[in-house]
Structure 1
Amino acid sequence: MLTVRRYADRHPRLVEGAFLVLLCTATGAQYDRGGPGLWPGLLLSTGACLSLLARHRRPRPVVACTGFCAAVSAALGYPVTVLLLLPVLVAMYALTVRAPRRTAHLFCAAVVAPVVLAALVSDRNHENWGDKTVVPAFWITASVVQGSAVRARRAYLDAVRARAEHAERTREAEARHRVAEERVRIARELHDVVAHHMALAHAQAGTAAHLARGHPDQAERILGELTGTTSAALRELQATVGLLRHPDAPEDVREPAPGLARLPELVAAFASAGLEVVVTVDGEERPLPPGADLTAFRIVQEALTNVAKHAGAATARVRLAYTRDRLTLTVRDHGGAAPRPPAPGGGFGVIGMRERARSAGGHLHAGPHPEGGYAVTAELPFHRGPREGP
């Protein structure tokens, strides 16, 4: 079968000629069974078959020509059999696979009507009523149905091919987009882990250096806490890198993601660096989804880190307000001696906090507070956000 198809693809004109000769022979053989004789029928069948050469370029005129030849044959008294109708069936099929459905239906009715009418009014056609009407109507309609099925199949295959080509074209762009998203996620994770602990360690080291001469006992205690800070930084960094290297590792071998349950530990760490953090809770505390819990902790952590690095304030306040469907957290300082940078919203810390809030289905606002100082406010829903992520 593949060999025959390959030969047909290589020699289309030869195959077309052989098909038309076979079609003309089969159609002409019917004209010796009635009517005025063989030769008028052969002339009609030859004209109808020759017109099929243009069925791909001009299917409408070809249908009209073959339908006219079939109607004349029926009027001359030739039996209207399926073999006599073969040129009409081929022409109708070619029209149906190329023209709109409405056009094919109109041409089908325009061909069936004159053929049936010519067969009914002919004095030489002695076939019964069913052979004169049902046979031509059935076979011509069947060719239209078959052409419609092939046309629908081709449209489906074209749509599948177009989708495959579109997917192929967009695959590289999608891969670049995913790589960019992954790079942003990795950068955000490393920033949250490293920046917080390094800023805290820097503050603890500065406090210890300031107290080294006058209060050596306090300096020694802060240096001990500095060791704990750096150890915690190494543990979180190792856990983050391990998760990025092995994202499919079992959950029981991973270190639990931090959440608001570790807020007292965070407050104590900042206290050792000289920043007093006051936490207030409004409403009934409720557990957040894991992603939102991590997001809330990271936002508080980053906001307090910015206070310690930029504000020069001695006190910061963290307010957690629980309602029925969301948590509103606010981190605010009252300012200090050190001036804040002129573009506080341009740092990666604020950008990362906003990205985290959006990924949990919420939003975040950061800016100067009307009563002085700086405030970061985030609203996080209790339900899982549409793009929740770490």
Structure 2
Amino acid sequence: MITTVRDYLAAHRRAKDAFPGALLLVVSVFASMAGPSGWHGPRAAPVLWTAAACAPLVWRSRAPVLVTVAVASVEVVHLASAPGQPLVPGASLIALYTLASRLPRRRAWVIGLVVTVALTVALAASRSDEVFAAGTLASFDLLVLSVALGDLTRSRRAHLAALSKRAEQAERTRDDEAARRVTAERVRIARDLHDVVAHHITLVNAQAGVAQHLVRTDAEAAYQALGQLKDNSRAALDELRATVGLLRQDDDVSEPRTPAPTLADLDDLAASFVHTGLPVQVTITGALRPAYPSIELAAYRITQEALTNTAKHAGPGATARVHLDYGDTALRVEITDTGNGVRAADMAATDGHGLIGMRERAAAFGGTLTAGPGRGGGFRVVAELPLPQDPGDAR
């Protein structure tokens, strides 16, 4: 029953505004029936004055100032027309509470105190009492208390609204951060896909060309070239499956994934280019020590992309060299070739993503990458990636 009434009042503003006045009117009816000699029929005058004072309360939330003035005026007129009659300013208490809960604090207290003083003076005059009499001060305290309760309600409502706003802002911030991370992950996966596809397709294309050239002159060599083409195709599929597998949902069926390549796999990477006619030499200097797996993967992908670009742009008869230099604080990866010295701008115009992807990989770990024509011709890519200060932190 209580829940039904609460829901109804929440859905009907006018009924909610009128509800306290209706209760006050019912109380006045029962109060007018009580007397020294027992219960009797309700007296019309007190009930009608109470009804007149409560009537404006129907609009108390829409026009709290006008309602407060109207209610107070009715009660002052009542006190003036019936001197000596006891009056509890119930309608004024409701009006003042609504006023303080709806208006800004300063304005509400100014209006509330003016109305409170006017009602207190009218009550004292009606009773022929002094303003500072106990009964008069009790009424004054009740009126001030109603203003204070209304102000407290307004403050609490504002505090809850601020908390709700901060919660919504925090939720939006979390959503923005989640979207940013999703975007970054998509870029990273796209970069991996580009590296894998560009590398292996370049090898497959070169090996297919070799096989096509040899098929009429050296069947055995052509057969071996086709076998290498098959191996590279399978490797491309395995890496694509491993990379795309990152996009699987938690409830997807898991499949075996190829381990992420490391710097220990550079010899295999170099060997895969030898079959395409690009000899690659790998050298290592400095105190060899492990790096973070993510940094090793970045160094491997940078090397893979640089060699892929060499295979595409260096021209026939070119060779390449990969040099790893382990310094005190950084790993330096240098890839050079003896090709025709194609400019970085030409590579960017042809591919558009290779150099950008390499720079992004280096920058992701606080490293740097430079690319451009080599000193003695060809092309040169140099990446510097930070190494852990404590070797035990790398694994």
TM-score scaled by structure 1? 0.69
Alignment-mate amino acid for residue 305 of structure 2? E
Secondary structure in structure 2 of the residue aligned to 1:56: coil
Structure 1 25/353 Cα, relative in aligned 2: closer, same or farther at 3 Å? Answer: same
Gaps of 5+ in 2: 36-42, 389-395
Which residue of the other structure, out of 55, 61, 67, is the alignment partner of 2:66?
61
Cα shift at 1:100? 2.6
Equivalent residue, structure 2, for 1:329? 333
Q: What's the RMSD between the two structures over aligned residues?
A: 5.0
Q: 2:203 matched to 1:196?
A: no
In structure 2, the partner of 1:143 is 150
Structure 2 residue identity aligned to 1:302: E
Deviation digits for residues 133-154 of structure 1, max 9, x if unmatched? 544433442233234434544x
Matches within 5 A, 1:298-317: 298-312=301-315, 314-317=318-321
Distance 2:46 2:375 in 1: 101
1:45-85: per-residue Cα shift (whole Å, max 9, x none)?
Answer: 555433334423322233344456667878966667xxx23
Residue 24 of structure 2: aligned partner: 23
Letter of the 2:56 partner, please give it. S
Q: Is the 8 A contact 1:41 1:73 kept in 2?
A: no
Q: Secondary structure at the match of 2:273?
A: helix
Q: Would the aligned equivalents of 2:18 and 2:57 in 1 still touch at CA under 8 Å?
A: no
Distance 1:135 1:377, change over 3 A: same
The aligned amino acid for 2:148 is T
Q: Which amino acid aligns with 1:311?
A: A
Which whole-Å CA distance do the structure 2 matches of 1:257 and 1:123 have between them?
A: 96
Equivalent position to 2:299, from 280, 296, 299: 296
Q: 1:239 to 1:361 in 2, by over 3 A?
A: same
- CA distance in 2 between counterparts of 1:293 and 1:49 reads 81
Matches within 5 A, 1:210-221: none
Aligned residues: 370
Q: Separation in 2 of the partners of 1:291 and 1:275? A: 28
Q: Percent identity?
A: 40
Distance in 1 between the 2:11 and 2:110 partners?
36
Q: Judging changes above 3 Å, is the alpha-carbon distance between structure 1 residues 305 and 15 closer, same or farther for their aligned structure 2 residues?
A: closer
Return closer, same or farther for 1:341/1:63 CA change in 2, 3 Å cut-off: same
2:110 maps to 1:103: no
Q: CA deviation at 1:355?
A: 4.5
Query: Compared with structure 1, are the counterparts of its residues 139 and 341 closer, same or farther at alpha carbon in structure 2 (3 Å cutoff)?
Result: closer
What is the CA distance between 1:300 and its match in structure 2? Answer: 0.9
Query: Which consecutive unaligned segments of at least 5 residues does structure 1 have?
Result: 384-390
Displacement, 1:321? 4.5
Q: Which residue of 1 aligns with 2:134?
A: 127
Q: How far apart in 2 are the matches of 1:203 and 1:102?
A: 83
Structure 1 residues 151, 49: CA separation in 2 closer, same or farther (over 3 Å shift)? farther
- Cα drift, residue 241 of structure 1: 4.6
CA contact (8 A) 1:88 1:140 kept: no
Q: Note if contact 2:56-2:70 (Cα within 8 Å) is conserved in structure 1.
A: yes
Cα distance in 2 for partners of 1:68, 1:285 equals 94
**What are the equivalent positions in structure 2 for 1:180-191 lying under 5 Å apart?**
187-191=190-194
Asked if 2 retains the 8 angstrom alpha-carbon contact of 1:367 and 1:376, the reply is yes
Pick one of 273, 276, 281 that aligns with 1:273.
276
Deviation at 1:261, TM superposition (A): 1.9
Partner Cα separation in structure 2 for residue 240 and residue 330 of structure 1: 26
Shift of 1:11: 6.7
Give 2:39's aligned residue. Answer: none
> What letter corresponds to residue 378 of structure 2 in structure 1?
G
* SS of residue in 2 equivalent to 1:343: helix
Alpha-carbon contact 2:193-2:243 (below 8 Å) kept: yes
Question: How much does 1:296 deviate?
Answer: 1.9
Q: Tell whether the 8 Å contact from 2:307 to 2:335 is kept in structure 1 after alignment.
A: yes
1:179-225, Cα deviation, whole Å (9 max, x unpaired): 98777555544432233123223334545666789988877766665
Q: Which amino acid aligns with 1:235?
A: D
Provide the residue aligned with 1:387 in structure 2. Answer: none
- Give the structure 2 partner of residue 90 of structure 1: 94
Q: How far is the alpha carbon of 1:275 from its aligned partner?
A: 2.2
Question: What are the Cα deviations for residues 215-238 of structure 1, in whole angstroms up to 9, with x where unaligned?
Answer: 888777666655543443343344
**Once structures 1 and 2 are overlaid, which stretch shifts more, 96-105 or 212-221?**
212-221
d(CA) in 1 for partners of 2:255 and 2:197? 24
Give the Cα separation in 1 of the matches to 2:324 and 2:85.
96
1:298–1:123 Cα change, 3 Å: same
Task: Indicate yes or no: 2:354 matched with 1:349.
Answer: yes
Distance (Å, rounded) in 2 between the aligned partners of 1:341 and 1:12: 71
CA offset digits 1:5-47 (Å, max 9, x no partner): 56557776567666534434546858x99xxxx9997787555
The letter of the residue matching 1:275 is L
Structure 1 95/377 Cα, relative in aligned 2: closer, same or farther at 3 Å? farther
Q: 1:246 to 1:151 in 2, by over 3 A?
A: closer
2:236 pairs with 1:233:
yes
Shift of 1:175: 11
Aligned: 1:287 with 2:294 = no
Do the aligned residues in 2 keep the contact of 1:27 with 1:86 (CA within 8 Å)?
no
**Structure 1 CA distance for aligned equivalents of residues 314 and 55 of structure 2:** 93
